[in-house]
Amino acid sequence: MKTMRWLIVTVFICVMALSIPSAVQAEEADDNMNTKFTVKPNIPENQAKNTQSYYDLIVKPGQKQEVELSLINKTNEELTIDLNLANATTNDNGLIVYNDFEKKPDASLKVPLTTLIKLPEEHVKVPAKKTVAAKMTVEIPENGFQGLVLGGVYASLAEDEKEEKGKSTGLTSRYGFNVAIALRTSEDTPMYLAETLQLVKLVPTIALGNKSVQAVIQNPTSAIFPEVRLEGKVTKKGETKEYAKRILPSVRFAPNSTMNFHLDFGKEDVRPGTYIFEGKAVLKEDEQQVWPFKQEFTISSQEAKKLNKEAVVKLVLPTWWNQAFYGLLAATIVSLILAIWRFTQQKAILKQQAYLQQEKQAALKNRQGVRDDDSEK
């Protein structure tokens, strides 16, 4: 019995080990601790008070000026620095970012920063151990603009520099520096304003491989919307069951931007039907201020089928894993058969020994009876 217990435990451990495949993840190279270059904004005279780490410029309609950004080479080799401009956007995690070059400006953004600033040089060569002032040209339209215009300039190593490094390490450096640029026509123009947030639309979609509904939430105001807690849930019409739920504790919205707020449906298949999204944004500095959202949306049979199909994550294992699995499985089966055979043999031997012992005792008993009869005679 000890052999059988040991065998059962061994088989259980093997099965558990085989059901957890190895997961190895490769991360991007992080050179932030040993950067080849750095940047520093050269603050002009029309900078707003109390801000020095980024550009906060007070401009006038029709104004034209040059703004400089110092690129500082810390190496003993010449570097080529790429410069790119971007409008401030709100990413899916509720952070304001200045390097999303693909996202189109929101419909509420009438004057994007990328239309007000030009880069005479997008690729700047910086000699070894030197500093070069990269120029940016700011041109304000004659009729000016309303509110805050926010964006940034992103400085990164040129593609050839990244490729050169990648030859020896197999990794590509992707570090860079964002410098925010804020444009206002008056210092009285607020940077932050908690006016309104609105739900634009709901889109069933796949996000990070998961079945989800995407709630597009908009800040239509030309100011940063201050920190809020964002909550949302999805129920089916006529039901109380929550099919999806999410809370983001800290969210800020860039001026005139939208955020894609994803709610995961989980592992269950999505069923077609009419659903209801309910959510709210709660101002962190005053939780009495709440912006509620509620809207119905429909998932058709075709959409549900597509979501369920595309959300299936296929686990691709190396070929050696299959060989090892079947090899170990075969060894386990053989061991199990041998153990059962051995157990059966031991049981048969014990049974035979018990039978022989009984026969021996019976023979002794008969002999004792014969002696007793002889004594009586």
Name every residue whose Cβ is closer than 8 Å to that of residue 118 and which is 6 or more positions away in sequence: 136, 137, 139
Do 122 and 228 reside in the same domain of the chain?
A: no
- Whether residues 323 and 358 share a domain: the answer is yes
Tokens at 115, concatenated: 């239309």
Whether 178 and 108 map to the same domain: the answer is yes
Beta-sheet pairing, 55-58 with 176-184: parallel
Say whether both 283 and 360 belong to one domain: no
Is the pLDDT at 2 greater than 60? The verdict is no
Asked if 216 and 155 sit in the same domain, the reply is: no
Residue 163, beta-bridge partner list: none
Domain final residue, candidates 310, 326, 348:
310
Answer yes or no: is 91 within a domain.
yes
Q: Is pLDDT of 119 > 90?
A: yes
pLDDT, one tens digit per residue, over 330-346 is 888 888 888 887 878 77
Domain boundary among 123, 151, 184: 184
In a domain, 165, yes or no: yes
DSSP letter for each residue of 164-219 = HHHHHHS--B--EEEEEEEEES-TTS-SB-----EEEEEEEEEETTEEEEEEEEEE
When pLDDT is averaged across residues 311-322 and rounded to a whole number, the result is 55
Across 2-16, 107-121, 232-246, least confident range? 2-16
In a domain, 241, yes or no: yes
- Residue 161 is predicted with a pLDDT of 58
Do 82 and 150 belong to one domain? yes
Q: What is the DSSP annotation of 66-133?
A: EEEEEEEE-SSS-EEEEEEEEE-EE-TTS-EES---SSPPPTT-SS-GGGTEE-S-SEEEE-TT-EEE
* Structural domain includes residue 138: yes
Question: pLDDT tens, 54-91?
Answer: 999 999 999 999 999 999 999 999 999 999 999 999 99
Same domain, yes or no: 41 and 176: yes
Does one domain contain both 81 and 169? yes
The CATH number that applies at residue 210 is 2.60.40.10
In a domain, 267, yes or no: yes
> Which has more pLDDT, 324 or 36?
36
Higher pLDDT, 30 or 261: 261
Sheet of 198-207: strand order equals 198-207, 210-219, 257-264
Q: What is the tens place of the pLDDT at every residue in 171-202?
A: 444 579 999 999 999 999 999 999 999 999 99
Strand partners, 203: 214
Look at residue 312 in the predicted model and tell me its pLDDT.
63
Of 310, 333, 361, the position where a domain reaches its end is 310
Kindly state whether residues 67 and 139 are assigned to the same domain: yes
Same domain, 58 and 98: yes
State how far Cα 75 lies from the chain centre.
34
* 334 assigned to some structural domain: yes
The reply to whether 214 falls in a domain is yes
Report how many domains make up the chain. 3
User: Which residues, 6+ apart, have CB-to-CB distance to 51 below 8 Å?
Assistant: none
Write out pLDDT tens, residues 128-163.
Answer: 999 999 999 999 999 999 999 999 999 999 876 554
pLDDT at 329: 81
Residue 12 CA to residue 332 CA, distance in Å, equals 11
Residue 17 pLDDT: 35
The mean pLDDT value of the chain amounts to 84
pLDDT at 35: 85
- Structural domain for 364, as ranges: 316-377
Residue 209, phi-psi category: left (phi > 0), alpha (psi -120 to 50), beta (remainder):
left
Residue 340 phi/psi, 5-degree rounding, is: -65, -45
Q: Is residue 27 included in any domain, yes or no?
A: no
Instruction: Kindly write down the DSSP assignment for every residue of 272-325, as one continuous string.
Output: PEEEEEEEEEEETT-TT-EEEEEEEEEE-HHHHHHHHHHTPPP----HHHHHHH
Same domain, 48 and 174: yes
Residue 223 pLDDT > 90: yes
231 and 262 part of one domain = yes
